[in-house]
Chains A and B, each alone.
Chain A
Amino acid sequence: MTEEQLIQEIVSGNTLAFKTLMEKYQERVFHVAMGFVHLKEDAEDLTQEVFIKVYQSLSTFNHDSEFSTWLYRITINTCINFVNRNRKKRVLQSIEDVWQSAFNQYDKEKTPLEKLITSERNLLIKKAIDSLSEKQRSAFILSKYEELPQKEIAAIMNTTEGAVEQLLQRAKNNLQKKLNRP
């Protein structure tokens, strides 16, 4: 069954077809969500929110773009809204994460000190990614987490390939600046 047929089936009320579509795209949505929230439980909640939105608005999808492009757009908007909504909560969460990840790592080759250093470094990377502007962050996540070509990112973000290239370059520079700060 082609994707278009699958969508038609879902619109006509076939929930099994929706399950098939979801199984196909679930991991992609989850990884993008992870890029935004860095927490499995939150990423799962976001994945659920995205697919419910998709189910509710699939009848409005007009096939002007690829389904995946449309899906990524919904994912990014949902993630940005989620992050803005939970900004305060996330600061406390990230501190908690360092301790949790430092002592819950099953890597026996690393000493506790090395684990703590890795966790702290990861927290800094998370903070640096989170401090990027919405556009830079979206482009960065789509490029790094999903390894999408610039052309597709441009289609998702409704911009030009040149603009995406610039956003990625700026994101990279900003991350370098923030992480190399003494």
Chain B
Amino acid sequence: MRTENFIDDFIRDEKQTEPNPFLTTRIMAEVEKMQQTEIKIVPWWQIVVFVASIVAVVFLGITLGNSYINPISQEITMNINDNEIENFGYYSLNSHE
């Protein structure tokens, strides 16, 4: 019987403990912080659309680049700069030897 009274006293003491009056505010702040984080999280479909658009732009760039046809004819032409050719007359003149 005495033990039971001790237990009851102990429980009565613990029940008298009051929570911090700012506990509600603390929890509300946590809930609001959680809500803001939820808003910041980008939905998965937005990520998919973003990645797909980058892939599409790269693919379009490559396709456009490949489809380019050079209008200049592909025949081989030779440009000779006469100034760079050694003058044969230089070798035929004996006075230079």
Contacts and interface: CB of A to CB of B under 8 A. Distances in A.
A79 B92 CA distance: 111
Interface of B: 3-4, 6-8, 10-11, 13-15, 17, 19-20, 23-24, 26-28, 30-32, 34-35
Interface string A15-26: 100110011001
Contacts of A126: 10
B21 to A, nearest CB: 11
Interface of A: 15, 18-19, 22-23, 26-27, 30-31, 34-35, 38, 40, 43-44, 47-48, 51-52, 55-56, 121-122, 125-126, 144-145, 172, 175-176, 179-180
B26 A27 contact: no
A48 B23 contact: yes
Contacts of B35: 15
A113 to B, nearest CB: 17
A51 B29 CA distance: 12
A27 B28 contact: no
A43 B32 contact: no
Contact of A145 (B4, B11, B27, B32): B11
Given A15-B35, A175-B3, A34 B17 contact: yes
A15 B15 contact: no
B15 A145 contact: yes
Contacts of B31: 15, 18, 51-52, 55
B23 A26 contact: yes
A122 B26 contact: no
B34 to A, nearest CB: 7
A30 B24 CA distance: 12
B27 A51 contact: yes
A27 B3 contact: no
